[in-house]
Amino acid sequence: MHLAPRIMVTGGAGFIGSFLCERLLDRGAEVLCVDNFFTGTRTNVAHLMGNPRFELMRHDVTFPLFVEIDQIYNLACPASPIHYQFDPVQTTKTSVHGAINMLGLAKRTKAKILQASTSEVYGDPEIHPQEESYWGNVNPIGPRSCYDEGKRCAETLCFDYHRQHGTQIKVARIFNTYGPRMHPNDGRVVSNFIMQALRGEDITLYGDGQQTRSFCYVDDLVEGLIRLMDTDSSVTGPINIGNPGEFTIRELAELVVEMTGSPSKLVNKPLPQDDPRKRKPDITRAQQALGWEPTVKLRDGLEKTIAYFKRLHEGA
Ligand code: NAD
Ligand code: UDP
Ligand code: UDP
C-alpha cells in the first residue's frame, strides 16, 4: 500500500528536474527520476541517492515505459539551443513520442500529468508581454523548429488526451529559467556569460544585445510547477510560469561583469537565425489560478548562480 504519492519526473537528472525531485522528496513523496543522461547527469541528483524514497532509472522516453505512479512531471527534453540542435530529429522524437508515451502511461494509470512546455511556443512574438491566448509566431522549418514545434505538438497531444480520454493534464509554459546546476557548456545566455566572466574571456553579445529576456530563478519556477500540479482537475493550463522582469541581453552582460568583478569586455557576434527579439510573460493566470508569482530578484538569483559556477570553475 502506498501512502506517499508516487511521482515520476522525466528529465529529473537535468537542471530544473533535479531541483523538482529535491522539493518533491522534501514534501514526503516517492520520486522516480527517469532520464537518459543526454544533458542531465547523475551528479545533479547524487545528493538524493541516499534517500529511500528516491529512485533513479536510465530510460529514454521515446520508448514505452510501464510503471505504476500517481503523478508525472514530463520534463525530458534538451532545452538549450546548442543541445536541442545537436540531434534535431531526436529532439522532435523526445517531445512528440515522449509525450505520447507519457500520456499513454497517464491514461492507463489515471495519473495527473504536467507537461513542461515553453515560451518558445510563442516563437518571435508579435504581442508583448505574451499571454496564453496568443497563438505564436513560429517558423516551422528553421533551426529552432525541432524544439518549438515539438513542444507545440506535445501541447496538442495533452489537450487531445484530455478531450478524448479525460486525462488530467497541466500544461506549464516555462520562460527562461536559470540557477545552479545549469550545464556550464550549454550555450544558454546566463551560464555562458558567467563562465566567460569567470574565465576573463570576451562576453559574446549576439546581435546588438538589445533583444530582451525575462529570467526566472529555478526555486520560483519549481514552486510554480508544484502549485500547478496541485490544482484540481478544472485547471489544465496552459499557464505561463516565469518572471516578468524584462532585461536586454546587454544589461544582463553588464550585470554579470559587475557582479563577478571580471575584466571581460563585451563583444558583438552574429545573431542566430530566428532569435526572438522580445520575451516577457503575462503571469495574470498564474497569479489567479495558483496564487503564485516569483519572489527572487535577478541580482539575488545571479549571486547564487555565480557562486555555483565559481565552485565549478575553481574545481576544474
Ligand atoms: P536540461 O537539459 O538540464 O534537462 C533536460 C533533461 O531531460 C536532461 O536531464 C536530459 O538528459 C533529459 N532528457 C533529454 N532527452 C531525454 C529522453 N529522450 N529521455 C529521457 N530523458 C531525456 O534542461 P532544463 O533547463 O532542466 O529543462 C527541463 C524542461 O523544462 C525541458 O522540457 C525544457 O524544454 C523545459 N524548459 C526549460 C526552460 C529553461 O529556461 N530552463 C525554459 C522553457 C522550458
Ligand atoms: N504507453 C506506455 N506506458 C503505459 C501505457 C502506454 O509507455 O503504461 C505507451 C504505449 O506503448 C503507446 C503510447 O503510450 O505507444 C500511447 O498509449 P495509448 O494507450 O494512448 O495508445 P495505444 O497504445 O492505443 O496506441
Ligand atoms: N545570447 C547571447 N550570447 C550568448 C548566448 C546567448 O547574446 O553567449 C542571447 C541569445 O541570442 C538570445 C538570448 O541571449 O537572444 C537568450 O539565449 P538562450 O540561448 O539562453 O535562450 P533562448 O534564446 O532560448 O531564450
The C-alpha atoms of residue 241 and residue 283 are separated, in whole angstroms, by 7
Residue 254 phi, psi (nearest 5):
-65, -40
Question: What is the CATH superfamily name and number for domain 6-179+217-242+280-295?
Answer: NAD(P)-binding Rossmann-like Domain (3.40.50.720)
Bond prior to 129 in cis (omega within 30° of 0): yes
C-alpha cell at 100: 505520447
Ligand 3 atom nearest residue 279's Cα:
25
Decide: 79 in ligand 1 pocket, CB within 6 A.
Answer: yes
Question: What is the reported pTM?
Answer: 0.98
Helices 145-165 and 88-109 cross at an angle (nearest 10°) of: 20
| Whether 79 contacts 73, CB under 8 Å | no
Q: Are 178 and 305 in contact (CB under 8 A)?
A: yes
| C-alpha 218, offset from chain centre | 9
pLDDT tens digits, the chain, 316 residues: what are they?
567 999 999 999 999 999 999 999 999 999 999 999 999 999 999 999 999 999 999 999 999 999 999 999 999 999 999 999 999 999 999 999 999 999 999 999 999 999 999 999 999 999 999 999 999 999 999 999 999 999 999 999 999 999 999 999 999 999 999 999 999 998 999 999 999 999 999 999 999 999 999 999 999 999 999 999 999 999 999 999 999 999 999 999 999 999 999 999 999 999 999 999 999 999 999 999 999 999 999 999 999 999 999 999 998 6
Beta bridge partners of 216: 177
Which ligand is located closest to the Cα atom of residue 59?
1
Residue found under cell 545549469: 182
The predicted pLDDT at position 1 comes to 55
Please give the distance, rounded to the nearest whole angstrom, from the Cα atom of residue 28 to the centre of ligand 2: 29
Biggest CA pair distance of the chain: 60
**Cα(244)–Cα(278) distance, integer angstroms:** 12
Ligand nearest to the CA of 182: 1
Amino acid letter, residue 9: V
Closest ligand 2 atom to the C-alpha of 109?
8
Q: What pLDDT, on the 0 to 100 scale, is given for residue 175?
A: 98
Q: Any idea which ligand is nearest the CA of 188?
A: 3
d(CA 76, CA 272): 25
Q: Which residues line ligand 2 (CB under 6 A)?
A: 64-66, 100-101, 104-105, 107-108
User: Which residues are identified as catalytic?
Assistant: 147
Cα separation of 119 and 135, whole Å? 11
* Cα 31 to middle of ligand 3, angstroms: 32
Alpha carbon dihedral 12, 13, 14, 16, in 10-degree steps, equals 50
Q: In whole angstroms, what is the distance from residue 78 CA to residue 37 CA?
A: 10
In this predicted structure, what is the pLDDT of residue 221?
98
Which residue, by CA, sits nearest to atom 33 of ligand 1? 79
* String of DSSP letters for 223-286: HHHHHHHTS-TT----EEES---EEEHHHHHHHHHHHHT----EEEEPPPTT--S---B--HHH
- Is residue 20 within 8 Å of 9, Cβ to Cβ? yes
Which residue CA neighbors atom 5 of ligand 2 most closely? 105
Q: Is the sign of the CA dihedral 74, 76, 77, 83 positive or negative? A: positive
Nearest-CA residue for atom 3 of ligand 2: 105
